[in-house]
């Protein structure tokens, strides 16, 4: 039956296209149609499962579209239908592989497949899980009042510390073992409580600033992992717990802070389902209680002799050069002799590229007592200005240039000229000519871009 169903999907993919009757001659299905026929029915099944895992939001009622190389396919009532991009209101380019908008007045989830056909076929599992997590964050967590006043900063906290990551990894592994070994669960939870205390002692700022990531990413991952495990278990005959353990055994050995928070929050939720009853803790999470705190609150920390908590250097080899890049950015931001270029933030329209061992992306940098959003390896374009491998600080409503709600502060360490309101830049990282106003603030030169 399973093979017949797959054959039927491909048949529909080759025959049902926008405005074309189903009795037309056979058409060879495109790569996008094949991938849509593969992934959208699986996503529909996962959304059905997710509605049972975290009820009340009808995720399965959303319209589903898979788009690859600009060719969108809609999954509706068991049929694959070709649609035009211009009917996908408000979607545009789907960030993170997932976009949200409307189709004929209905909420729609748009999955963006990779342009390369082979790569797109290989990303099915990751895109399914990613889509479910993004959908939960977008449709469900948007109504959580506890998140309205929380920091939206993302990324690891500078300075990066391999020992902190190792301790969190021990905590994650203790939770996974508690799930995998029911007979050893009390002991493993006691070990997890030990590692939680050790992490808090080593990284109090990460403990404070990591609340939002662990609550949002952790609960979203919990829903996605349990929905996927329930679906797999319905076919394999195994328990959902066994499927979870099998899924998470494939995780990389060295994870950054966000990846660890995601899995720790998810595992805590899964273990609460076992100890408290499925879903019985979810209202507490909506009110702002971390699943890990609910799980380990009544657990006494175990008295164990910890193994070395320093990860092998190879696991976090990027920490040294990345710390160096962040240290340089910090010094340049604090150097009053160095001018600052202030431009509208283009982060959402840009991409990141690693360089010489430096891991590009977002980081949290604390300047004074103020946590701020920093970026390494930013590549993008503004009107008249190209940014390549730029390191910058992002501020929201806290800079000296009028009319910029969200701005990037870029230290101008490279040569530049400023004549008659024209700022000329011809370096490796900033290249172009833009209009700007020169201001002085606390003895520092600020170039406010006029775009």
- Mean pLDDT of all residues in 299-325: 76
Write out pLDDT tens, residues 256-281.
Answer: 999 999 999 999 999 999 999 999 99
How do the domains of the chain map onto residue ranges? 2-124, 156-296, 319-449
- List of residues 6+ apart from 94 with CB closer than 8 A: 67, 110, 111, 112
| 152 vs 305, higher pLDDT | 152
Judged by average pLDDT, the poorest of 191-195, 224-228, 301-305 is 301-305
Instruction: Evaluate if residue 344 carries a pLDDT over 80.
Output: yes
> What is residue 313's predicted lDDT score, i.e. its pLDDT?
57
Per-residue confidence band for 398, with pLDDT thresholds at 50, 70 and 90: low
Contact 271, 249 (CB under 8 A): no
Q: Helix (H, G, I), strand (E, B), or coil: what is residue 243?
A: helix
Contact 54, 226 (CB under 8 A): no
Q: Where are the alpha helices (DSSP H) in 88-184?
A: 117-122, 124-135, 162-180
Strands (E), 237-338: none
Instruction: Evaluate if residue 303 carries a pLDDT over 80.
Output: no
Judged by average pLDDT, the poorest of 48-57, 101-110, 283-292, 356-365 is 101-110
185-187-188-191 Cα dihedral, nearest 10 degrees: 160
* DSSP per-residue string spanning 384-422: TEEEEEEEEEEEES-SSSTT-SEEEEEE--S-EEEETTE
Helices (H) and strands (E) in the chain, counts: 13, 17
Instruction: Evaluate if residue 386 carries a pLDDT over 50.
Output: yes
> What is residue 3's predicted lDDT score, i.e. its pLDDT?
39
| 273 vs 28, higher pLDDT | 273
- Name the pTM for this structure: 0.87
The H or E element spanning position 52 is helix 31-53
Instruction: Evaluate if residue 329 carries a pLDDT over 70.
Output: yes
- Mean pLDDT of all residues in 35-48: 95
Contact 408, 399 (CB under 8 A): no
> What is residue 312's predicted lDDT score, i.e. its pLDDT?
55
Per-residue confidence band for 26, with pLDDT thresholds at 50, 70 and 90: very low
Q: Helix (H, G, I), strand (E, B), or coil: what is residue 328?
A: helix
Query: Could you give the CA distance from residue 287 to residue 294 in angstroms, rounded to a whole number?
Result: 12
Write out pLDDT tens, residues 81-96.
Answer: 988 877 666 665 545 5
> What is residue 21's predicted lDDT score, i.e. its pLDDT?
33
> What is residue 408's predicted lDDT score, i.e. its pLDDT?
94
């Amino acid at each position: 039956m399973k093979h017949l169903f797959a054959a039927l999907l491909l048949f529909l993919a080759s025959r049902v296209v926008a405005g074309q009757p189903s009795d037309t001659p056979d058409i060879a299905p495109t790569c996008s149609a094949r991938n849509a026929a593969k992934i959208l029915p699986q996503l529909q099944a996962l959304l059905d499962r997710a509605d049972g895992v975290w009820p009340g939001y009808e995720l399965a009622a959303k319209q589903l579209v898979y788009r690859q190389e600009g060719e969108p396919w809609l999954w509706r009532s068991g049929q694959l239908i070709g649609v035009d991009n211009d009917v996908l209101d408000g979607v545009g380019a789907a960030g993170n592989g997932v976009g949200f908008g409307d189709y004929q007045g209905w909420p729609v989830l748009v999955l963006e497949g990779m342009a390369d056909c082979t790569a797109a076929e290989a990303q099915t599992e990751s895109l399914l899980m990613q889509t479910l997590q993004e959908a939960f964050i977008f449709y469900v967590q948007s109504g959580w009042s506890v998140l309205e006043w929380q920091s939206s900063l993302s990324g690891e906290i500078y300075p990066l510390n391999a020992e902190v990551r190792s301790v969190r990894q021990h905590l994650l592994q203790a939770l996974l073992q508690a799930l995998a070994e029911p007979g050893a669960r009390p002991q493993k939870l006691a070990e997890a409580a030990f590692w939680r205390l050790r992490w808090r002692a080593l990284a109090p700022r990460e403990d404070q600033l990591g609340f939002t990531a662990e609550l949002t990413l952790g609960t979203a991952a919990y829903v996605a992992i349990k929905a996927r495990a329930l679906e797999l278990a319905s076919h394999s005959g195994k328990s959902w717990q066994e499927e979870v353990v099998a899924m998470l055994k494939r995780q990389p050995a060295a994870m950054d802070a966000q990846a660890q928070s995601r899995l720790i929050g998810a595992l805590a939720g899964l273990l609460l389902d076992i100890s408290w009853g499925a879903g019985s803790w979810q209202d507490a999470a909506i009110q702002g209680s971390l699943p890990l705190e609910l799980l380990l609150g009544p657990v006494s920390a175990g008295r164990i002799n910890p193994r070395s908590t320093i990860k092998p250097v190879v696991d976090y080899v990027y920490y040294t050069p990345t710390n160096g890049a962040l240290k340089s950015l910090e010094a340049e931001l604090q150097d009053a002799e160095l001018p600052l270029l202030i431009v509208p933030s283009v982060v959402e329209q840009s991409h990141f590229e690693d360089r010489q061992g430096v891991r590009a992306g977002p980081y949290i940098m604390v300047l004074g007592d103020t946590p701020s959003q920093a970026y390494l390896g930013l590549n993008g374009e503004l009107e008249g200005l190209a940014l390549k491998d730029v390191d910058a600080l992002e501020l929201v409503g806290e800079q000296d240039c009028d009319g910029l709600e969200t701005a990037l502060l870029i230290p101008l360490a490279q040569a530049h000229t400023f004549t008659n309101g024209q700022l000329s830049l011809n370096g490796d990282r900033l290249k172009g000519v833009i209009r700007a106003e020169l201001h002085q603030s606390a003895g520092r030169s600020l170039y406010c871009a006029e775009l």
